[in-house]
Structure 1
């Protein structure tokens, strides 16, 4: 199909090339030969009268015109995908639709077991692809690479609908056989004790509680860092360290690891877990069903307290 003499099939190829900044990677993702993708780039360069991708050293970079076009092209394709995927009705017991969901390892450990159990209870046949979050996870949502994002409220985008799933508080954990097994956890002890903390793998990123503690002027004596929320409680076993973790995660960890729990010796705002979806999917029956499953699961999680 052509529009103003442009083969619209080329837009899909262009979208991949601009996102990946690589002809070969785009060809692989589209299951095309590299020569076919190179031919598509040549045709696009001729149509737009612009090189679009230029070789700079060992990598390719976007031209100014390509950078300007990229968001609009992605937006067009997301609209088309949303229109094609949206069916007038959705039956999870019949549909084998695959949903891409962005989650942290905290969500993976605390909420997702309840979600998949609820789906099984409903006899759903849908498929789930659980994807790890990045520094700005909503960008994958905007690109159409994810159907649902589960993340704290400060990571959601103001440009798409979202809703609160549940709230969680922070608690202090320590080894039940360590030096902090039976103490009065006051602020002085909290700041003096050796801590284990989670540092997000994204460059320059900091955990949400660290940002809040810094604003409160509270320091921690950090002796151990890890990239995983869910591993943090288990790294305390047999040690003299403490950690600040989500209460729901602490509850799960204490079932298998000898730990003691303390309330924080200071006031800290609760952790708000949200889910977000693309505005073009707001009336998608499949996404509506998926959101309902997450809301029911979040309610089950909250009722377990």
Structure 2
């Protein structure tokens, strides 16, 4: 097969078809008619002498040949896009670009406010569209429909780019009237009632099983390794709400230290070091390889990392 006989648009069609697994959605993505996309798929089948996508009960399913082609095809198209992309710098001060960022409540509370303040100074027309983990899937990120993800992860797809925004230690927040302050020991910590707060990863949550310790997160996993278990009374996904709940004089909240800064001036709360050692968490910045070389995207990633360095972890 001679390269000059190949319509390069067909390779773009195939890439989008393998992403969307739907002729209709692929046509919408490329801004062409459905008959034009169907014709493109017919030509692709002739070109590769393979059905490529077969209709099954689960929709359009790629053949083995298509699955083998997919990573190579994506790499080739990315290289071509990078080669022809203008190298002009991103003019942040004049840009009105919308950056769609999936961000956990923890990161939204601690990192986004100083980021927004910086944006108002240097790029006042840039818009942030902040999304929750329940709004986004790994597939959305892979396609570049979401610019960035800022969250904590147990695992992410190997194709994604990532960097560590910061590491954060843990602290405890309790009411100034909580009797536990007289002796903040591990024994009393375990006997107390606790507020649990977290939301990591992607997808819609269906609730928490208090008995499933391994899914409760860092704090409870450490306690499990110690052969201990705390009594969780309230489960929430919002850090500000959790800190307000900890004002009640019989509840203990254990959170990353930068989150505690949000209520550092609250006279009703006392911040204490945990009565056991908890390894620090890592807040990650994650993005699709499709956006890795985009000048605006590179600018935003650098800005986020610069702002993150200024959010100093407190020492309690």
Contact 1:237 1:257 in 2 (8 A): no
Question: How many Å separate the matches in 1 of 2:267 and 2:57?
Answer: 51
The aligned residue for residue 87 of structure 2 is 87
What is the CA RMSD across the aligned residues, in angstroms?
3.9
Alignment of 1:46-195 (within 5 A): 46-57=46-57, 59-83=59-83, 87-133=87-133, 143-152=143-152, 155=155, 163-175=163-175, 179=178, 182-195=181-194
Q: Secondary structure at the match of 1:195?
A: strand
Distance verdict in 2 for CA 1:143–1:123, change over 3 Å: closer
Deviation at residue 115 of structure 1 after TM alignment: 0.9
For these two proteins, the number of residue pairs brought into alignment is 302
The aligned residue for residue 14 of structure 2 is 14
The aligned residue for residue 265 of structure 1 is 275
Contact 1:110 1:248 in 2 (8 A): yes
Q: TM-score, normalised by structure 2?
A: 0.74
Is residue 297 of structure 2 the alignment partner of residue 298 of structure 1? no
Is residue 233 of structure 2 the alignment partner of residue 223 of structure 1? yes
Deviation at residue 107 of structure 1 after TM alignment: 1.1
For structure 2, the 5+ residue unaligned runs are 206-213
Deviation at residue 276 of structure 1 after TM alignment: 5.0
Superposed CA deviations along residues 10-47 of structure 1, whole A, max 9, x for unmatched, are 33332233223222333333344433333332332232
Question: How many Å separate the matches in 2 of 1:180 and 1:75?
Answer: 60
Contact 2:101 2:129 in 1 (8 A): yes
Distance verdict in 2 for CA 1:39–1:161, change over 3 Å: closer
Judge which range, 260-269 or 38-47, deviates more: 38-47
Deviation at residue 114 of structure 1 after TM alignment: 0.8
Q: Secondary structure at the match of 2:285?
A: strand
Contact 1:82 1:280 in 2 (8 A): no
Question: How many Å separate the matches in 2 of 1:38 and 1:176?
Answer: 67
Question: How many Å separate the matches in 1 of 2:154 and 2:58?
Answer: 36
Judge which range, 74-83 or 202-211, deviates more: 202-211
Judge which range, 289-298 or 151-160, deviates more: 151-160
Question: How many Å separate the matches in 1 of 2:13 and 2:267?
Answer: 50
Judge which range, 246-255 or 143-152, deviates more: 143-152
Question: How many Å separate the matches in 2 of 1:299 and 1:8?
Answer: 44
Superposed CA deviations along residues 93-120 of structure 1, whole A, max 9, x for unmatched, are 1344444444322111110111121122
Contact 1:137 1:155 in 2 (8 A): no
For structure 1, the 5+ residue unaligned runs are none
Contact 1:99 1:127 in 2 (8 A): yes
Contact 2:90 2:296 in 1 (8 A): yes
Question: How many Å separate the matches in 1 of 2:126 and 2:37?
Answer: 33
Question: How many Å separate the matches in 1 of 2:153 and 2:167?
Answer: 10
Question: How many Å separate the matches in 1 of 2:310 and 2:63?
Answer: 50
Judge which range, 79-88 or 52-61, deviates more: 79-88
Distance verdict in 2 for CA 1:45–1:84, change over 3 Å: same
Contact 1:101 1:147 in 2 (8 A): yes
Question: How many Å separate the matches in 1 of 2:140 and 2:260?
Answer: 30
Contact 1:237 1:259 in 2 (8 A): yes
